[in-house]
Structure 1
């Protein structure tokens, strides 16, 4: 005999079977036709559920050319959430009374069930999340004197406020989630073209040693201005070039550069030169205005490769206003202070390079680590306390401790 099976979505499958075929065999045949596993099939005939897999179709009262309803069972336990929501949606579509009730009370859910499975799954996840949260809060409120329960309630409320704040930002200021590229301008130093990073948060204009070599000004470095820059991290200052020609637009400007190792940019145009040449960062026009000229900031595709590391969240030491240790002229017994040596206003002078002894009158911190290891880290710019704590974190390995300082 020939049977026709209809699904909730309007699909139909025609199978030809023997009247004495058992229901479980018919379901196995349907699995091959419809793709619905046997354990998830629910078959109805004349408003009766056929649930005896060992009974034959004749015994179940199914005659020739009969039309049967094939549904997919909703099985929540042990299944992915996406499959749960899809089975729930099919169950809703297969229940006309439930669909009518949803149209009257929750038209958005009814429309998602009919036309947008992804949206229906999202609504279902949100509903379950709210139910779980409310159940958790109710359980925690059962004992108002439980300190741990109160702490968890406070955290749940805080998380809810965070999510509301996120939703507000996504709706009213989605641009705040976009990536902001750094500000670069094309310049020339001593005739060598460079893409300079404009950073008003850096105290000094900084150049890497490699860039200084390319510009041919490394021979002009005044090594009396050596030191250690301290900001987000530490970096070694090799010295200072007091004056070199820098071309911006059609202007030829005298600039001074601090030569520093460990930079992620070739040239950082800092606040000292911005103020010296009365430059203005005009974000409305996306340009640097300097002495009546407007220099457009480079587009994202024009940025140097090193800039992409900064866009991914790498912080620059100079961006927090690095302070340099006191310069140490070679051969002198006492470090001599030079104007513009890079000391941050109000910052205590750092120990001179190569001097591991603490300042006079300062309490010496005792340590179980060798003094040679401590002095080595102090020569890299760390205080004695920081050197000891870093060695503690590194398990006494001086090489690992040195890497942690940077």
Structure 2
């Protein structure tokens, strides 16, 4: 049977791969295969299926209910006592993935395991939330650990370039700038969450975020039988003109477009009127482009394309412009009228909220 493995490493990097195994394959052998593909030691791996961790290494995959086409999650366990590099036996392991690159999206940082240490020196830099308060020490640790250095090159090229330049002052400056930039973005995020939902600036930012996020309605998720894959730790409230509950997030599922099966992740919204909205996150992942001349969506990773449906061919659930007693009105006129009504209502609501 073919199983898809969604892997999350300790540094928050993600990778997806597929394995062809027998149903009577034991779990400890499956862990070994995953180690070859992901690089995560079998002893540090935690395999989760249907929100339930698989713990008995001598049970077969079929005994856990796994079947052909299923998706499992492989997480790297937090190491309570990380093994430091040989050259620096007294130093803690640091999660460098939490250093965000300016101008790009970043993942919420997690505190690295182990006790944070502070160091006093004449060139000491103000202590950061991640405990990276000694650039010289950090530079030596990176240069002594090829794995961490390669990870830094992949996830943070500007900092890696400053490190390899050999200029400690330049490395320190880039490090501090990135930490300060991330702190500013975190403050902006907190301000946005506490902003008045009728504030025009807040609405613009929320709309921009939603456009970048792939979402699916709860009703559609139930029809597709993927509610068992929802990670409810990602639950929350989407605020805009009104509010909408976010049930959780599906980290990995396949979406078929024409003959292609694309790996996608999306947030599940409770009252979303449309079944699914493909956001910029997935469009970028699969290098999609919209050709307005041909009226098609081109999938760059596979080279295939699919035609956009005209209004008359849309399924009933997708015809937002239709309603009872409006069959005699052209779709273009209905869409224009509803857009004008929505704009007028939004302006009236914003006017009422003014002091």
Q: Same fold (TM over 0.5)?
A: no
TM-score by length of 1: 0.28
Max radius of gyration: which structure? 1
TM-score by length of 2: 0.31
